[in-house]
Amino acid sequence: MSTSKPVRLTDKQFEQIAKALAEPRRYQILKKIGSCKKEGSMGCQAIQEEHNISAATLSHHIKELETAGLVTITREGKTMSLSVQRDVLHAYLEKLSKI
Amino acid sequence: MSTSKPVRLTDKQFEQIAKALAEPRRYQILKKIGSCKKEGSMGCQAIQEEHNISAATLSHHIKELETAGLVTITREGKTMSLSVQRDVLHAYLEKLSKI
DNA sequence: GCATCATTTAGATGATTATCTAAATATCGA
DNA sequence: TCGATATTTAGATAATCATCTAAATGATGC
């Protein structure tokens, strides 16, 4: 179960992750996605209701998280299902901890 | 020997750290400071020579790192001595790993 | 005090980016 | 197919921020 397979981050991805995490709202969104993972699906709707942002803005943030590799999107009909890529997050933390 | 005393990050500091780390150049600077720690002092000059930036820009970045609590500055006459606050960095990583 | 070296501050500029509205696309159920 | 729901795209705007130059501050040694 989530045996951290060795994830290798390119410099570019490392930067993308750092930027993705630097936006407070994005961090909150990521946390939300992570917290809901247990229950399975996590659509945009639930997130949007918490934050006071438009669907377009949320879409933008989610794309940033996805581009950075921090979340994966699986589509299930109308809604999307998001999940945190903890392997990637931990690879990032691992690299940072080397400082 | 750096027995990690419990550092508590405010939400604000957490954000400041994330933003400080999100700038590639700032990350490089922080890494440089960390790597030179063993030899003791780490002035701006050495950093500035590596990166191709003005003294003013470097000063700006260092202030961001300091404001975030990631580095401390001690003045020694003309030059400054920088050191990484690993306790703070690890508190940040710790919090991120909770996602 | 003056010249020099190290850093900071002020102020400006350009790039990046978070956000919005409006329109487009996609999926489902009736 | 139509209408409703969910998400994306396009395009615009405003805020943030990295960077610079020029000037200011501060410390050292002559």
- The residue among A77 and A8 whose pLDDT is bigger is A8
Q: pLDDT of B69-93, one tens digit each?
A: 999 999 877 788 899 999 999 999 9
Residue B1 pLDDT = 57
Averaged pLDDT, A23-27: 96
pLDDT in tens, B23-49: 999 999 999 999 875 444 556 667 777
* A34-52 pLDDT per residue, tens: 987 544 455 666 787 788 8
Which nucleotide C1' is nearest B76 CA? D27
Nearest to B62 by CA among B49, B81, B76: B81
Looking at residue B78, its amino acid is: K
Task: Find and list the nucleotides of strand D having atoms within 7 Å of a protein beta carbon.
Answer: 5-11, 17-23, 26-28
Domain spanning A11-96, CATH architecture:
Orthogonal Bundle (1.10)
Averaged pLDDT score across all residues of chain A: 87
Residue B17, pLDDT > 70, answer yes
Residue B12: is its pLDDT beyond 80?
A: yes
Q: Percent of chain A, pLDDT > 70?
A: 86
Judge whether residue A93 has pLDDT over 80. Answer: yes
Do residues B42 and B81 make contact, with C-beta atoms less than 8 angstroms apart? yes
A29 touches chain B (CB under 8 A): no
pLDDT of residue B40: 47
Residue B69's nearest CA partner among B94, B92, B51 is B92
Decide: CB of B78 under 7 A of nucleic strand C.
yes
Question: Between these two residues, A53 and A39, which has the higher pLDDT value?
Answer: A53
**What average pLDDT does range A57-85 have in this prediction?**
92
Contact B96 A21 (CB under 8 A): yes
pLDDT band of A1, cuts 50, 70, 90: low
Between A92 and A3, the more confident residue is: A92
Question: What is the per-residue burial (b if ≥16 Cβ within 10 Å, else e) of B18-44?
Answer: bbbbbbeebbebbebbbebbeeeebee
- In this prediction, residue B39 carries a pLDDT of 45
